[in-house]
Amino acid sequence: MGTLKHRRILIVDDEEADRMLMSAYLQRHSCRLIYAEDGLEAIEKARTLKPDLILMDAEMPRCNGRDACKIITQDPRTQNIPVIFISGMTTPEHRVRGLLAGAVDYINKPFNFDEVKLRLAIHLRNRTPAPQEPAANDAPKKNNRHDIVFHSARTHLLKSLSTTPPMQELEKLTGTNSKHLNNAFKVCAGVTVYEYLREERMKEARTLLQQTQLSVQDIAHQVGYKDSANFSTAFKERFKLTPREFRRQHN
């Protein structure tokens, strides 16, 4: 199976956490990376930089991946560049729509990086690597692993403060293990993963107490506490006031 080394790959995704996660993996394989945040930017960079392969999210604002893929695969300047969709929408209907738009393959989110490597290698196997041009590589500097893992996991943690994702799920979503996850959070935020989540929940609870008329019980549920008594204890431990005392003092 062919190597990914020095291959120029365009990553198109409006989600920064997913771009960073994929780029962290591909950088370890010495790929030369280009980035775009939507379909219009992807079309422009495909035409000007001629990547070896495009990894593109199917759902994006301004111009979605399917529309961009149709343009790229029908343009004589870019029609030979393989496009692989990356998406959390994995129904047969979505996959068929992607393939009909001109994509050669489909990779599901969250990423299985063994699958990513295999699919990329298959579609790059018979392609001559693009000539090396320093201007084409607009990837961020390497040695940024802690930042990448931290921001990716943080995005997933903050999507819903009412639920606590198991560590095993976070490991899968970020492609790492619990030790590396906690190390990344200690380096970037000074606390472990779940200490960080607890602090974010307390900050959100403080905001809700100040800016809404929601009951303490409802606020507790919104920030992941099933029991309002446990929430009140945690809140007082953090802010030296019970939720009701805090609300009276700040209203």
Q: Against a cut of 0.85, is the pTM above it? A: no
Do 124 and 179 fall within a single domain? no
> Which of 90-99, 122-131, 239-248 has the weakest average pLDDT?
122-131
Do 19 and 55 fall within a single domain? yes
Domain CATH for 41:
3.40.50.2300
pLDDT tens, position by position, 24-65: 888 888 889 999 888 999 999 999 889 999 999 988 877 889
Is 251 a residue whose pLDDT tops 80? no
What is the total count of domains within the chain? 2
Going by pLDDT thresholds of 50, 70 and 90, the confidence category of residue 191 is confident
Is 12 a residue whose pLDDT tops 90? yes
Give the long-range contacts of residues 196-199, CB within 8 A, separation 24 or more: 196/154, 196/157, 197/157, 197/161, 197/164, 197/224, 198/234, 199/238
The string of DSSP letters for 185-232 reads HHHHHSS-HHHHHHHHHHHHHHHHHHH----HHHHHHHTT-S-HHHHH
Do 90 and 182 fall within a single domain? no
Do 112 and 54 fall within a single domain? yes
Please state, rounded to an integer, the average pLDDT across all residues of the chain: 85
Do 226 and 113 fall within a single domain? no
Residue 32, phi then psi, degrees to nearest 5? -100, 115
The residue segments making up the domain with residue 123 are: 8-129
- pLDDT score for 22: 87
Do 163 and 65 fall within a single domain? no
Residue 95, phi then psi, degrees to nearest 5? -65, -40
Instruction: Provide mean pLDDT across the span 153-162.
Output: 85
- Tell me the C-alpha distance between 57 and 135, whole Å: 24
Is 186 a residue whose pLDDT tops 90? no
Per the domain annotation, does 80 fall within a domain?
yes
Do 160 and 107 fall within a single domain? no
- pLDDT score for 111: 81
- pLDDT score for 223: 93
- Tell me the C-alpha distance between 80 and 139, whole Å: 23
Per the domain annotation, does 242 fall within a domain?
yes
